[in-house]
Amino acid sequence: MSFKDKILSSFIALENEVDTETYAHQLRNEALASFEELGIPQRKEEAYKYTSLKSLFNKD
């Protein structure tokens, strides 16, 4: 399972536990849609050029 798939499945699990009628829920949905479209930042993107994401990939 890829890191992106893990994030998406974690979001689905969260959906089952939280109130879906809140503003925070709407923001999470928008953020997830953006993540699905853009994916994980790559080094070629200037804003993330010097940001290490290794710690995220080494954990479940």
- CA–CA gap between residue 16 and residue 14 (Å, rounded): 5
pLDDT exceeds cutoff 80 at 17: yes
**Residue 30: its pLDDT value, please?**
92
**Residue 60: its pLDDT value, please?**
62
With tokens 């709407």, the residue in question is 26
**Residue 59: its pLDDT value, please?**
67
Report the pLDDT averaged over residues 17-21: 82
Place 12 in a pLDDT band, splitting at 50, 70 and 90: confident
Flag whether the pTM goes above 0.75.
Answer: no
